[in-house]
Amino acid sequence: MSVSQDTRATGAQKIGGFIASYSVVITFLAICLFFAMASPTFLTGANLYNVLVNNVVMLAIVALGLTIVISSGGIDLSVGVSVDMASMVFVMLLAAGYGGVFGVTVGLLAAVAVGVLNAILITRLKISPFLATLGVLFIGQSTQQLATSGGQPIYLITGYAGAQFNAIARTSLLGVPMPVLVLVACIVVVYLLLHRSVFGRAVQAMGAQPGVAWYSGLAVPRQLSLVYIGCALLCGITGILLSATVKSYVPLSGNAFLLDAIGATFIGTTLSAERRPTVIGTLLGVLLLAVVKNGLLLIGWNFYWQQVGIGVLVFLVLAVSFGLRRARQ
């Protein structure tokens, strides 16, 4: 008797969960439909390609990094610094005539160094992730300003460096552009790590209740370090792609990813019945934001209005996400 009642209760919950998850998918489709009708160029192959390569890839990789961090119950405000450091080191090395592979490697190491710094502050000095990464954000911005005499961009459009950039951003394999391939690789790796591996379980446990993870014999400090280093590495990959795409290093440009990546991750949490961040959900969130940005541009909203629009969208998503969470409790 009681068992059947229980099943019915979870049945109702499942239906509620489905409605909540579908609501994001439905919103996404509705927005696509709206822009398709409002702008004839929206559904063209060229535009969708442009959205994918220019709006989705880089944001998605940063958002994947933040998905891991938010799953672990933390936050990383310094994603922009990781992006910028990789980009800065990469571009500066190319400008100095070093090889592309060397530049990419050292660039990624620079991003990893940011992650290591975060990890030390959080796991060794026990500073809360928010403040630790905020401090690193300050220091990272200062470092960039000092290294570029106050924020002068470095442009390397032509010549040797330009060719190196093209080798990253403009090549394609079997018709698929290199950046998209990189994204797919990142998605597969992060999905396996977060949702299939022992490490992912530890991350979810730390996010749900750090004390329980510690009392269950998990090596919490080590896992947490890997979380922040992994996030920084993903941001570093974005930094390399970013500088290869725009063929330059523009100081402090990485910060633009922060709000969008947080927004995308939280949009994604509405997709899971337990309101947890997931890889699929985050990707859906990234697509939603990218489509909205592109669509607003196509129907004639300027960059400034877009910022308001995205802010409002993220605000509404947070409202729904936290509203659902509150309703459950």
Touching another protein, residues 183-242 (CB under 8 A): 192, 196-199, 201-202, 204-205, 208-209, 211-219
Among residue numbers 146 through 185, which ones bind another protein (CB under 8 A)? Answer: 146, 150
Q: Is 323 in the site for another protein (CB under 8 A)?
A: yes
Element spanning 176, H or E: strand 176-177
Q: Is 54 in the site for another protein (CB under 8 A)?
A: no
Residue 45 or 211: the one with the smaller Cβ distance to another protein is: 211
154: β partners? 249
Q: Is 38 in the site for another protein (CB under 8 A)?
A: no
Residue 60 or 132: the one with the smaller Cβ distance to another protein is: 132
The type of residue at 254 is G
Instruction: Give the tokens for residue 194.
Output: 């977060």
Give Cα 120 to chain centroid, integer Å.
Answer: 22
Among residue numbers 12 through 31, which ones bind another protein (CB under 8 A)? Answer: none
* End-to-end CA separation in angstroms for the chain: 26
Q: Is 300 in the site for another protein (CB under 8 A)?
A: no
Among residue numbers 67 through 96, which ones bind another protein (CB under 8 A)? Answer: 75
Smallest CA-to-CA distance from 301 within 290, 311, 309, 291 is with: 309
Task: Specify the stretch interacting with another protein by CB under 8 A; choose among 37-45, 157-165, 240-248, 314-322.
Answer: 314-322
Task: Specify the stretch interacting with another protein by CB under 8 A; choose among 95-103, 134-142, 160-168, 282-290.
Answer: 134-142
**Which of 22, 102, 160, 315 forms a contact with another protein (CB under 8 A)?**
315
Residue 192 or 280: the one with the smaller Cβ distance to another protein is: 192
What does 54-101 look like in DSSP terms, one character per residue? IIIHHHHHHHHHHHHHHHTT---TTHHHHHHHHHHHHHHHHHTT--HH
Q: How would you class 267 by CB atoms within 10 Å of its CB: exposed for 0-12, middle for 13-18, buried for 19 or more? A: buried
